[in-house]
Chains A and B, each alone.
Chain A
Amino acid sequence: GAVVSQHPSRVICKSGTSVKIECRSLDFQATTMFWYRQFPKKSLMLMATSNEGSKATYEQGVEKDKFLINHASLTLSTLTVTSAHPEDSSFYICSARDYSGRDNEQFFGPGTRLTVL
């Protein structure tokens, strides 16, 4: 199956710093990628849909200026958590759909665990 990578896998930072998370589709072109946030034992919460070459579409309640998304190429999307605070600590997961595949399945990256001190 297709592979989606995420980097870094874990980051610990001080309050007020910005953190960038990269999401790459390794063997297919992803015109659309999705960014999720997940709290312990909770469901996946869609934050935004990242579209290559255009602005991201944010879900209601997600601050655009806080969570900056850039989809610079067909294989790379980045999420920047600006001026991170302890309440931003969470598990962030990206995913990409392979629309060329038979099932159009959505592949998830391994996730990034962010801890803000």
Chain B
Amino acid sequence: QQPVQSPQAVILREGEDAVINCSSSKALYSVHWYRQKHGEAPIFLMILLKGGEQKGHDKISASFNEKKQQSSLYLTASQLSYSGTYFCGTELLTGNNRKLIWGLGTSLAVNP
């Protein structure tokens, strides 16, 4: 049930773009995206609730393809502050307690 994130790790130069994917083998109700910096708690980025929904703020956006049961996080013109580990959390259509199942994370390093 655990979603699969790809790639595992990305190294960028400041200003470059990146895409992080999150795929599930089960039908999804929602996808949540978080960023975690070392030694800190994860910080909420956005949640996508409907198939085909797209969201974004600043230079970080995401899409949710309900049919493909996957979501993608788009980071454009990356900044140094974007460095961290990105996790997707998926909520299943048939899940109980509305708990999130987390991917293994994608490590992103943005260098000057």
Chain A residues with CB under 8 Å of chain B are: 1, 32, 34, 41-44, 46, 49, 51, 57, 93, 97, 103-111
CB of A99, distance to nearest CB on chain B (Å): 8
> Counting chain A CB atoms within 10 Å of each CB, which of B87, B101, B102 scores highest?
B102
Are A105's CB and B103's CB within 8 A?
A: no
What's the A-B contact tally at a CB cutoff of 8 Å? 53
CB distance from A95 to the nearest CB of B (A): 8
Nearest chain A CB to B67 CB, angstrom units:
22
Given A34-B99, A49-B97, A57-B97, decide whether A44 and B44 contact each other with a Cβ distance below 8 A: no
Which residue of chain B is the closest to A97 with respect to CB atoms? B98
Asked whether B102 lies within 8 Å of A43 as measured between CB atoms, the reply is yes
Least distance between B8 CB and chain A CB atoms (Å)? 11
- B99:A49 contact, CB within 8 angstroms: yes
Given A43-B104, A43-B105, A108 and B41 contact (CB-CB distance below 8 Å): yes
Q: List 26 A-B contacts (CB under 8 A).
A: A34-B99, A41-B85, A42-B104, A43-B104, A43-B105, A44-B42, A46-B99, A46-B101, A46-B102, A49-B97, A51-B97, A57-B97, A93-B42, A103-B49, A104-B30, A104-B98, A105-B32, A105-B44, A105-B47, A106-B32, A106-B89, A106-B100, A107-B44, A108-B34, A108-B43, A111-B39
Q: How far is A107 from B44 in the complex, measured between Cα atoms in Å?
A: 7
On whether the beta carbons of B47 and A103 are closer than 8 Å, the reply is: yes
Interface flag for B58 (CB, 8 Å) = no
- Is there contact, CB below 8 Å, between A110 and B98? no
- Report if A110-B40 is in contact (Cβ < 8 Å); known contacts: A44-B102, A104-B47: yes
Q: Which of B40, B43, B102 contacts A111 (CB 8 A)?
A: B40
The answer to whether A32 and B32 touch (CB under 8 A), given A104-B47, A107-B44, is: no
Interfacial residues of chain B within 89-112, with CB under 8 A of chain A in the complex: 89, 97-105, 107
